[in-house]
A and B are shown apart, each in its own frame.
Chain A
Amino acid sequence: MKKLILIIPAVVLFISGCSSSDNLDNSVYIYDEEYTDLPVYTEWGYNTFGAYLDRDVFISGSSIPAKVFSTGNTTTFALYGTLTGDYNQMILKFILEGYKPAEYKDLVSLNDSTINLAGSLCKVCLTLNGEEDTLHILNGELYFKRVQHLYVDKQSAETIMSGYFQLQMLIDGTPSTISHGRFDVGISYDNFYAY
């Protein structure tokens, strides 16, 4: 006996899904495929930075990675992180003379601009183990490749500063190099100061 059977699906259910949560303040680490100790260069406000100080790695941590403070006739772009090796906290400050944004939104004026770190309009300070030194810069540059004002739901949220830096300097008379520096940080009311 041969029989033809009609099958009518009444209910067919297959479920898949995922969930995630995030915040603009979070740090998102996506490591570089070439320089695997450093975060890859991004322009999404991932709140990360990284560079080599000679062969050690200077990288952002879990706290606020960057602050901008505008005071007097200078503006300081400071990166807060840790250095591998014998050190712990390290702070790298780029102090720009004659530049004074009134609020974080004004930082977009730095978009696509290059600062000559060996020039007279810039100073660089390095803090290691709580001791801050003003560096003697041999050469170097700070490149703000993209600075963008970010709106979320039509409200101003932050300014994302993304770019590169590298420099050669003297630390206690010894030549050192900061190389392959890259940053992608969000600056907002939380970490911008004008006084």
Chain B
Amino acid sequence: MYLLLSSEGTTTEFLKATSIKQNSYYLGIPVEFRFYNTDYHFIRSYTKLGAVFNYRVSTSTNIDFTDYRMDVYEKEMAAQVDKPNSFNAMGYACFGLRAGRENGPSLNIELQCPAFVITPDSSSLTKPNTGAGLQITLQFPIGSK
């Protein structure tokens, strides 16, 4: 791909890049409904419907140039790449496995499929509609009465 470095008068400069990688990190608030498929066992499966509302904490953009000597322009070019919106939301269905005693700590491994983006215009380089994900959680009951 070609990235525009400058264009003035009759001179235009591009840099050739092999890839642009953008990583965004979010803090999210999930809302989930879990349905166990079986009665209590130490390991049991469940399905889940959920949504998560995310706030973008940070974003980093890295560009791999074809010519390594162009790396000096990476910061300048990365600044031209749009960042995702500060907020986004996703909905998902999950299939998961829970390992642990009924009222004790547990380990949950979940496959999110499908996961769909509720706010499709919130991204920058891509416009994701659907996808898949993996989530591993540790669950601790911390109070009861």
Chain A residues packing against B (C-beta within 8 Å): 1-20, 22, 24, 108, 111, 146-154, 157, 160
Contact yes or no, A111 B10, CB < 8 A = yes
B135 touches which of A11, A22, A149 (Cβ 8 Å): A11
For A18, list chain B residues within 8 Å (CB): 125-126
- Given contacts A22-B2, A152-B2, A152-B16, whether A14 and B131 have CB atoms under 8 Å apart is yes
Contact yes or no, A148 B12, CB < 8 A = yes
List the 8 closest A-B pairs by CB distance, nearest first: A16-B128, A14-B133, A108-B10, A11-B136, A10-B136, A4-B143, A153-B67, A151-B13
A15 touches which of B15, B19, B131, B143 (Cβ 8 Å): B131
List residues of B (39-79) whose CB comes within 8 Å of A's CBs. Answer: 65-67, 69-70
A17 touches which of B126, B134, B141 (Cβ 8 Å): B126
If A5-B141, A6-B139 are given as contacts, then 16 extra A-B residue pairs at C-beta distance below 8 Å, sorted by A number, are A1-B145, A2-B144, A4-B141, A4-B143, A11-B134, A11-B136, A12-B135, A13-B134, A16-B131, A17-B126, A150-B12, A151-B11, A153-B14, A153-B15, A154-B13, A157-B14
For B135, list chain A residues within 8 Å (CB): 9, 11-13
Query: B-side binding surface: helix, strand, loop or mixed?
Result: strand
Q: Which residue of A lies closest to B131 (CB)?
A: A16
- Judged by a CB distance under 8 angstroms, whether B37 is at the interface is no
Contact yes or no, A148 B16, CB < 8 A = no
- Judged by a CB distance under 8 angstroms, whether B31 is at the interface is no
For A22, list chain B residues within 8 Å (CB): 1-2
